[in-house]
Structure 1
Amino acid sequence: MHQHSSCTRPAMKTVHYRLSAYISHRTAGQAYIRALRLAGVPLAERPEDADVVILHDDPLNYPIILKNNPAMREKKLVAYSVWETQTLPERYLAPLALVDAIWTCSPFSRTAFHAAFGNVSLVPHIVERQKTSPEDLALVAGKLGRRADAFYFYTITDSVNPRKNLRGLLEVFLKNFLHDPDVFLVVKQHRHALDLSGLKNVIALNEIYTPSRMAALHQLCHCYASMHHCEAWGLPMSEALAVGNPVVATGYSGNMTYMSPDNSFPAGFTLSPVSGDMCRLIPLFTPAMRWADPDPGHFGHLMRTVRAMGGYDAATRRRVADSMLPYRAASIADILVERLR
């Protein structure tokens, strides 16, 4: 077998990876760190010992991070950043100008950055099926009061964030399944949980779940549902597909990187200005930006279709899970190494 001479390859860069504290960014960043290790990329605990510093954080935090870590200014700086509409916030422009390259997760998110910067590359999120334990499987089944003869839709959401549109999903679920005692909607909430106890056949899970328990949730439920307005990627949707579950979700934004009518159920939508509630909650959003308003009639039709199917058969589950193989750690590790070179 032909052996490549080490002198023909660029030297491997040493990387310092700066993680955000925000849950979804941190989860994605931890997966990238595992992929870098898998690829044999040297990782430095301190920025002083690195060739490249990856800032996986909100761009608004870059100035203070660099002020507190002056050694970073002497390194090649990569911003791993995402955005959920196709117009970048004005306040992101100055901090992003401090870095040498920008990486983001989806073509949808890349569009926003490309409007202002030329050094933007695509590094998709890592999506792999997580393992669970018999103990966690039993615990989550108990939380659900799981019945073998029932059908469970589920969603994983920041309930108070208007962008996630939990209110719209609850309205569609109750309109279509209020009188079906064998259909439930499981809402795994994080951060600020809402009191959903008065809603019939809605099961709220408000505790912090380990990855094993989240894997159990994917395994025990039948169909993931998201009526989001926009996503840069949508990790829970991609994780549901990776286990072979049907996904009914708004057919717009970053989730369409991996969703299609061949492996899921994209729902119709119209585009409209971002709501005032969203702009008040996170002022980075403005009414000049646009997001999707999912069609509740079409969304309900798709949910009823999946319910009538009883979920996927074993062969379809395998095919759907296989559609996510391009996003496994080994594949994304190759992309990371190429970006570093």
Structure 2
Amino acid sequence: MGVAKRHAIKLLRRALGLPTGDLDIVGRLDGAADGVVHGWAYRPAHAGRRVLVDIFADGVFVAQQLADRRRDDLAANGFGDGRHGFDVKIPPVLLRGAETRIGVRALAETPFELTATEKRPLLARRLGRDDYLRATFAGAFRDDAAGDVTERSPLRRTELLFAPTPVPAPPPILGEALCAYLDQNRYKWDLADQFDATISIADREAFLAHYVEFYGRARRPLRIPLSARDIDFLDEGPSAQDRLAPSRAMRLFAQTPRDASADARLEAIFRWAAHGAAAFNVEDCLIAPAHEALLRSHEDTGARFPLSIFMTRFLDAHPILRGADLTRESERRAAYFAVLLFSARAPHYLRFIPPDWLAAFLTPQAGATPFDEESRRLFGAGGVDVAHWRAAIETLGYDFGEKSFRSRTPSGHRAHSATLPAPEGERVDIQLIGPFSRQLGIADSCRALAAALERLDYSLRLCDFTLDYPNRIREDAAPLPTTLRRAKINILHLNLEELPSAIAYLPDIWSEGRLIGFPYLEMATPHPAQMLGLTLVDELWSASDFTRETLAAHRPTHTIGTSARPVRKKGRAAARALAYADLARADEFVFLTSCDALSGVYRKNPLGVMRAFLAAFPHEPKVKLVIKTHSVDRVRAPREMDVWRSIRNVVAECERITLVDRILDDEEQMALIEGADCYVSLHRAEGFGYHMLEAMALETPVIATAYSGNMEFCDDHTAFLAPYRLVPVGPGEYPRMRGDQRWAEPDHTGAVAAMRAVFHDRAAREAKVAAARLLAETRFSTDAFAQRLDARIKDILARGPRAGARAFR
């Protein structure tokens, strides 16, 4: 809407005696995805006054936020200082399904809906306090069931996240060493060169600021781990001598006035407590206790239901709630009720209400509580009662009885697992947790492990855990539970760097039985990001001796093996017709290599395959190479993008090489492998190499680098092996690359020779295919895998799941 049109509407409303405050605000709802609502709201005539917005999901109020986040696009286009954005993560418990309709209302004397445009109604009416509260909270408590808080999980394994980091480091200078989880996070997200909290206080501040702002906001609404020491550090600032001093968290995350009046400093504290801390998802722990006490205080006039400093400022800051005559008890009771309604979506507000008067407001007097009386006055007979209001608060992780959030461990650390109730239901023998629904290798391994366990005589529960696995969801993924049960044996089939997240964000049921990690490892030495995962489990299982030899020095490790997916052979001709109709003719010899583009183009080395292929067959028109991948468009690492660009260039210039960049279903993938004349993997490092094993089961010859996890099933009898030499991993070639890491560089001459041997030596080809098929059908069958699992599980249960497990204090 243009300025002229807005001005014309304003003149019309004034002539009719209608409110115009909403016309002083401009803004938009930019969008909503994955429960995150983005937009902006700005008051041009008063750029320093931030706009409050109410967020609704399917018409139900879910959050209120101050539009004060910095947005460079707003600043660049002249919208004040650019601090007019809002970015709200709606807790899943408040969403009403995948197709939830999101609404955002900017608050003025007349609330108005923000949309993708700036349209405004021609007419508007002023909304009074009671009408506003009725409109805002209608239906807000309809699904909340009253009930007691269930038993909480013990947190013994969670406490290990806050132990000293297992990664060796020099002693601190002026800073302080991070706890194990935060240090692991520093390495996991490749921040070790950017941040070192041990050097100085400023360096420690810099890392914690990055951790809370970027990692913490990305994890919303989950509560990211923070040690008790880090919480105390971030809450430092106010003192008995200066209660208005900003906390360190305020200095790092909010605008704090310098050399300002006492009122301005108090206003900054109020804004952080009311809106700022919640925007960073730290309202449960990073509002300084001294500030809580200050905001909770009130003038002792002897009047009933006095308003605290927080409550007074909350009302004054609200364009509709302000202006009440608070000398009247009825207005103060109404104010209490209004703040308590908002606390059902922001439970930390309860910590800023005078506790004795809060108790009085919720205590029956002459048969009814003041809360119930205000509810009937506002909503009528069908209003919310205390029990359902409390249930709404408990749903968001606030323990009303303890007057605190349930996000703290007994040692005072903060972890999401502490908020979760202990699982209900009978204890199962085995619980397998992994990213079943994702399109990636470890998900295939999860399904193979589950298939083998299902053949055994144990009660089994499968749980889908996909945090930190951004891979696409399999179209054929069967829905699995995402909640845990108690189990005698828990198997976390995750990579080591992802394992701490399971401890941090799932209920801590791990200490009741035996916790087993089942990771894959591509390098011969664990990375610092993987060290914490090693300390959290009781034992490790591995699919290959390569992984066992790497990890055995850190934890008891057993090679359990794995299995190839059951295959239904179509026959080479049928498979070729299905998968290669547009790629190759029946009389052409096809080499196939494949990789997930998100798994690392340097590690998978398709460029090396192309180089060897063109050297082996520079002119043969009936020999082709197919490179199967997917998700190239999601690659973000600059060096990897360059390699994929080079691959596309070669494909464009050589008609005998084809790139297939899409996800195939299982039948298509198997047909692609069976229809090939040779499967090639000139990898530099491989966790296991399932596609090579599947090729063996499908009687497709295999060329492979003679290094890493695939050597569990590749030898001179089953594969054409490419020799290699160990070389340092180059910068940018592998996630979280470390200077002492080495991997295989396949020998180009040997790879060329292997390709020529597959093509020319039919007898050798058939001999290796027969040996490989026999190995896949015997040692790597589901039945053989189940037998190996059964032997290990029987041993664990015979000795007791906790026998030999790590002890807890």
State the TM-score, normalized to the length of structure 1: 0.88
Partner residue of 1:107 out of 510, 530, 545? 545
**Partners of 1:143 and 1:328 in 2: CA distance:** 33
Hey, what does 2:580 align to over in structure 1?
A: 141
Hey, what does 1:294 align to over in structure 2?
A: 746
Alpha carbon RMSD of aligned pairs, Å? Answer: 2.4
Cα drift, residue 305 of structure 1: 1.2
Determine helix, strand or coil for the equivalent of 1:102: strand
Deviations 1:152-183 (A, max 9, x none): 11011134521111111111111221311000
Cα drift, residue 233 of structure 1: 1.3
**Partners of 2:764 and 2:565 in 1: CA distance:** 19
**Partners of 1:297 and 1:95 in 2: CA distance:** 39
Q: Which residue identity lines up with residue 235 of structure 1 in the other structure?
A: Y
**Partners of 2:518 and 2:457 in 1: CA distance:** 20
Does the CA contact (< 8 Å) of 2:579 and 2:672 recur in 1? yes
> Which consecutive segments of 4 or more residues in structure 1 shift more than 4 A?
132-137, 310-316
Determine helix, strand or coil for the equivalent of 2:501: helix
Hey, what does 1:165 align to over in structure 2?
A: 605
Q: Which residue identity lines up with residue 334 of structure 1 in the other structure?
A: Q
1:53 aligns with 2:53: no
Hey, what does 1:175 align to over in structure 2?
A: 615
Hey, what does 2:121 align to over in structure 1?
A: none
**Partners of 2:434 and 2:684 in 1: CA distance:** 26
Does the CA contact (< 8 Å) of 2:440 and 2:596 recur in 1? no
**Partners of 1:24 and 1:219 in 2: CA distance:** 19
Partner residue of 2:449 out of 32, 42, 48? 32
Shift of the 316–273 alpha-carbon distance from structure 1 to 2, 3 Å rule, reads closer
**Partners of 1:64 and 1:263 in 2: CA distance:** 38
Q: Which residue identity lines up with residue 328 of structure 1 in the other structure?
A: S
**Partners of 1:310 and 1:326 in 2: CA distance:** 26
Cα drift, residue 296 of structure 1: 0.3
**Partners of 1:123 and 1:163 in 2: CA distance:** 25
1:155 aligns with 2:155: no
**Partners of 1:330 and 1:272 in 2: CA distance:** 39
Rg larger in structure: 2
**Partners of 1:83 and 1:175 in 2: CA distance:** 32
Structure 1, 78-87 or 270-279: larger mean CA deviation? 270-279
**Partners of 2:666 and 2:763 in 1: CA distance:** 23
Shift of the 312–161 alpha-carbon distance from structure 1 to 2, 3 Å rule, reads same
Taking the TM superposition and a 5 Å limit, the aligned residue runs for 1:71-220 are: 71-74=508-511, 75-117=513-555, 119-131=556-568, 138-144=577-583, 146-159=584-597, 160-192=600-632, 194=644, 195=648, 196-220=651-675
**Partners of 2:727 and 2:765 in 1: CA distance:** 37
Cα drift, residue 137 of structure 1: 5.9
Partner residue of 2:711 out of 220, 245, 256? 256
Shift of the 54–143 alpha-carbon distance from structure 1 to 2, 3 Å rule, reads farther
Hey, what does 2:431 align to over in structure 1?
A: 16
1:273 aligns with 2:728: yes
Structure 1, 132-141 or 94-103: larger mean CA deviation? 132-141
Hey, what does 1:9 align to over in structure 2?
A: none
Q: Which residue identity lines up with residue 178 of structure 1 in the other structure?
A: P
Hey, what does 1:4 align to over in structure 2?
A: none
Cα drift, residue 35 of structure 1: 0.8
Does the CA contact (< 8 Å) of 1:176 and 1:300 recur in 2? yes
Partner residue of 1:246 out of 671, 682, 701? 701
Q: Which residue identity lines up with residue 782 of structure 2 in the other structure?
A: A
Shift of the 302–190 alpha-carbon distance from structure 1 to 2, 3 Å rule, reads same
**Partners of 1:180 and 1:97 in 2: CA distance:** 54
Does the CA contact (< 8 Å) of 1:18 and 1:56 recur in 2? yes
Determine helix, strand or coil for the equivalent of 1:154: strand
Deviations 1:48-79 (A, max 9, x none): 24221111112233333223222433332111
Deviations 1:266-288 (A, max 9, x none): 11111111122324xx01x3230
Structure 1 runs not aligned, ≥5 long: 1-11
**Partners of 1:198 and 1:65 in 2: CA distance:** 46
Determine helix, strand or coil for the equivalent of 1:143: coil
Does the CA contact (< 8 Å) of 1:223 and 1:311 recur in 2? no
**Higher RCO, 1 vs 2 (CA within 8 Å, ≥6 residues apart):** 1
The number of residue pairs the alignment matches comes to 325
Hey, what does 2:504 align to over in structure 1?
A: 67
Deviations 1:195-238 (A, max 9, x none): 33433311222221111111111221111111111112111111
Hey, what does 1:226 align to over in structure 2?
A: 681
Percentage of matched positions with identical amino acids: 26
Partner residue of 2:759 out of 285, 296, 307? 307
Structure 1, 175-184 or 159-168: larger mean CA deviation? 159-168
Shift of the 51–22 alpha-carbon distance from structure 1 to 2, 3 Å rule, reads farther
Deviations 1:12-39 (A, max 9, x none): 9611111124610001111110110022
Shift of the 143–109 alpha-carbon distance from structure 1 to 2, 3 Å rule, reads farther
Shift of the 270–60 alpha-carbon distance from structure 1 to 2, 3 Å rule, reads closer
**Partners of 1:226 and 1:112 in 2: CA distance:** 22
Does the CA contact (< 8 Å) of 1:245 and 1:311 recur in 2? no
Structure 2 runs not aligned, ≥5 long: 1-426, 463-482, 634-643, 795-809
Does the CA contact (< 8 Å) of 2:701 and 2:768 recur in 1? no
